[in-house]
């Protein structure tokens, strides 16, 4: 890792890179510096072949990300707010486009921008004390980092409308019930479980993993016939790779595949 971070802690655990937002004095609230450092961390992971995927979590036991830094936002002009929101959206798009899995390990409050960052990840694993919400209407604004749109696609219009219009906070059990998170775990097991899943996925064909992620993210916004055509082309394209030949030969030979990402 080449970058020096002041808001993040980075730890490599096998194929998994654990990225921890570390601002305990403000419950890991997002500001421009956090966005910039997370952007840099994702760029580094994208270019590092030893990284099989990311686990994003929050420092301490109370909070994943308690939201955006309200003190910083309170004095923003409309143009500054547009720039801030644009950077948050760009980070979310980077996470969605990263050709590697990303798991949000939500260990406490994931409110406002914290919930939005979790929604930009591929999976959301939550600790039993996790709390999710989009309370921006209580501040006179709306989610600005993709919350209205990613939440809509994750839980459906009715639930997204209620969460965004009421600004209420839900617990981990309710988040699991409505599909906002994938799993609920004891807090002591949360990051280890996310790391284990990244390591598991990293043992599969990396081109296939990247293609599956792209098809699901991009196909969600297409009419089904168009999305199916894209899937056929992506499936056929993988038959040009040595990974496809290796994977099928390994299966037939009853041995573990040695994928090279080519």
So which residues are the catalytic ones? 116, 136
Half-sphere exposure of 149 (CA within 13 A, CB side): 10
58: its two tokens: 């929050």
Cβ–Cβ under 8 Å, residues 167 and 137:
yes
């Amino acid at each position: 890792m080449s970058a020096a971070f002041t808001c993040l802690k980075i730890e490599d655990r096998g194929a998994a890179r654990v990225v921890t937002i570390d601002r305990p004095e403000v419950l890991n609230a997002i500001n421009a510096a956090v966005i910039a450092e997370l952007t840099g961390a994702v760029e580094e992971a994208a270019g590092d072949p030893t990284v099989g995927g990311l686990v994003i979590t929050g420092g301490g036991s109370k909070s994943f990300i308690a939201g955006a830094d309200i003190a910083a936002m309170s004095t923003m002009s409309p143009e500054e707010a547009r720039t801030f929101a644009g950077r948050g959206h760009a980070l979310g798009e980077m996470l969605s486009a990263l050709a590697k899995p990303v798991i949000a390990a939500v260990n406490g409050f994931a409110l406002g921008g914290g919930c939005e960052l979790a929604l930009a990840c591929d999976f959301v694993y939550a600790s039993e004390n996790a709390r999710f919400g989009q309370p921006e209407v209580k501040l006179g604004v709306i989610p600005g980092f993709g919350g209205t749109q990613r939440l809509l696609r994750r839980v459906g219009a009715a639930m997204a409308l209620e969460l965004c219009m009421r600004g209420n906070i839900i617990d981990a059990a309710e988040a699991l019930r409505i599909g906002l998170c994938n799993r609920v775990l004891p807090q002591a097991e949360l990051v280890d479980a996310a790391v284990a899943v990244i390591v598991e996925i990293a043992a599969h064909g990396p081109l296939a993993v990247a293609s599956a992620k792209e098809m699901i993210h991009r196909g969600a916004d297409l009419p089904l016939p168009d999305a199916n055509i894209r899937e056929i082309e992506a499936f056929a394209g993988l038959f040009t790779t040595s990974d496809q030949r290796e994977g099928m030969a390994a299966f037939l030979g009853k041995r573990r595949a040695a994928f090279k990402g080519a």
